[in-house]
Amino acid sequence: MVIFSVTKAKPMCLCTASDEAIESAIWAHIATLAKAYLGLVDPPDDRSPYTLVVMIDDSGVHRYEEKQTFEAFTPLNQNIYAMHDSVLWKWTGSSFEAVATGLSL
Protein backbone atom coordinates (compact mmCIF):
# COMPACT_ATOMS: atom_id res chain seq x y z
CA MET A 1 0.00 0.00 0.00
CA VAL A 2 1.24 3.48 -0.79
CA ILE A 3 -0.25 6.45 1.03
CA PHE A 4 0.31 10.04 -0.05
CA SER A 5 -0.90 12.83 2.16
CA VAL A 6 -1.05 15.89 -0.07
CA THR A 7 -0.82 19.33 1.46
CA LYS A 8 0.52 22.62 0.20
CA ALA A 9 3.45 22.38 2.61
CA LYS A 10 4.78 18.85 2.14
CA PRO A 11 3.82 15.48 0.68
CA MET A 12 4.17 12.45 2.94
CA CYS A 13 4.48 8.87 1.81
CA LEU A 14 4.17 5.57 3.67
CA CYS A 15 5.01 2.56 1.56
CA THR A 16 4.26 -1.05 2.50
CA ALA A 17 4.27 -2.94 -0.78
CA SER A 18 6.52 -4.97 -3.03
CA ASP A 19 10.01 -3.65 -3.81
CA GLU A 20 8.97 -2.83 -7.38
CA ALA A 21 5.91 -0.86 -6.25
CA ILE A 22 7.96 1.03 -3.68
CA GLU A 23 10.66 1.83 -6.23
CA SER A 24 8.03 3.10 -8.67
CA ALA A 25 6.44 5.31 -5.98
CA ILE A 26 9.86 6.67 -4.98
CA TRP A 27 10.67 7.60 -8.60
CA ALA A 28 7.27 9.28 -8.97
CA HIS A 29 7.94 11.26 -5.78
CA ILE A 30 11.40 12.28 -7.01
CA ALA A 31 9.87 13.43 -10.31
CA THR A 32 7.34 15.55 -8.37
CA LEU A 33 10.12 17.13 -6.31
CA ALA A 34 12.17 17.81 -9.45
CA LYS A 35 9.19 19.52 -11.11
CA ALA A 36 8.75 21.74 -8.05
CA TYR A 37 12.47 22.57 -7.94
CA LEU A 38 12.50 23.52 -11.63
CA GLY A 39 9.40 25.67 -11.23
CA LEU A 40 7.18 23.43 -13.35
CA VAL A 41 3.67 23.31 -11.95
CA ASP A 42 0.60 21.27 -12.69
CA PRO A 43 -2.61 23.02 -13.75
CA PRO A 44 -4.51 24.59 -10.83
CA ASP A 45 -6.52 22.20 -8.71
CA ASP A 46 -9.51 23.50 -6.78
CA ARG A 47 -9.49 20.61 -4.30
CA SER A 48 -8.51 21.13 -0.69
CA PRO A 49 -5.60 19.20 0.80
CA TYR A 50 -6.40 15.50 0.84
CA THR A 51 -4.89 12.06 1.40
CA LEU A 52 -4.50 9.73 -1.55
CA VAL A 53 -4.23 6.00 -0.81
CA VAL A 54 -3.03 3.67 -3.55
CA MET A 55 -3.30 -0.06 -2.87
CA ILE A 56 -1.44 -2.41 -5.18
CA ASP A 57 -2.31 -6.10 -4.96
CA ASP A 58 -2.76 -9.13 -7.20
CA SER A 59 -6.11 -7.86 -8.48
CA GLY A 60 -4.72 -4.50 -9.61
CA VAL A 61 -4.26 -0.92 -8.45
CA HIS A 62 -6.94 0.62 -6.24
CA ARG A 63 -7.12 4.37 -5.59
CA TYR A 64 -8.92 6.01 -2.65
CA GLU A 65 -9.13 9.67 -1.67
CA GLU A 66 -9.80 10.93 1.84
CA LYS A 67 -11.05 14.50 2.34
CA GLN A 68 -8.76 15.05 5.34
CA THR A 69 -5.00 15.12 5.55
CA PHE A 70 -3.44 12.62 7.93
CA GLU A 71 -0.10 12.65 9.73
CA ALA A 72 2.16 10.20 11.52
CA PHE A 73 1.30 7.06 9.56
CA THR A 74 2.16 3.96 11.61
CA PRO A 75 1.91 0.33 10.48
CA LEU A 76 1.13 -1.99 13.41
CA ASN A 77 -0.01 -5.64 13.35
CA GLN A 78 -1.05 -5.61 9.67
CA ASN A 79 -3.00 -2.35 10.17
CA ILE A 80 -2.19 1.25 9.31
CA TYR A 81 -2.93 4.02 11.79
CA ALA A 82 -2.73 7.77 11.28
CA MET A 83 -3.41 10.96 13.21
CA HIS A 84 -5.74 13.80 12.21
CA ASP A 85 -6.57 16.69 14.59
CA SER A 86 -5.39 14.69 17.65
CA VAL A 87 -7.64 11.77 16.72
CA LEU A 88 -6.29 8.28 15.98
CA TRP A 89 -7.64 6.78 12.74
CA LYS A 90 -7.37 3.24 11.34
CA TRP A 91 -7.33 2.26 7.66
CA THR A 92 -10.24 -0.14 7.03
CA GLY A 93 -9.38 -1.19 3.49
CA SER A 94 -11.26 1.59 1.72
CA SER A 95 -11.21 4.53 4.16
CA PHE A 96 -9.89 5.79 7.49
CA GLU A 97 -12.21 5.49 10.52
CA ALA A 98 -11.75 7.22 13.87
CA VAL A 99 -10.54 4.89 16.61
CA ALA A 100 -9.92 7.20 19.59
CA THR A 101 -10.34 10.89 20.38
CA GLY A 102 -8.62 13.34 22.67
CA LEU A 103 -5.16 11.80 22.62
CA SER A 104 -2.40 13.98 24.01
CA LEU A 105 0.59 14.11 21.73
**How far is it, in rounded angstroms, from Cα 10 to Cα 5?**
8
- Does the residue 91 lie in any domain? yes
Residue 37 has pLDDT above 80, yes or no: no
Number of structural domains, the chain? 1
- Does the residue 76 lie in any domain? yes
Element (H, E) at 36: helix 19-37
- Does the residue 22 lie in any domain? yes
* More confident of the two residues 2 and 69: 69
- Does the residue 68 lie in any domain? yes
Domain that holds residue 41: 2-100
The predicted structure's pLDDT at residue 79 = 85
How does pLDDT run across 15-35, given as a tens digit for each residue? 455 667 667 777 877 887 787
How does pLDDT run across 40-81, given as a tens digit for each residue? 766 656 556 778 888 777 888 888 888 888 888 888 888 888
- Does the residue 105 lie in any domain? no
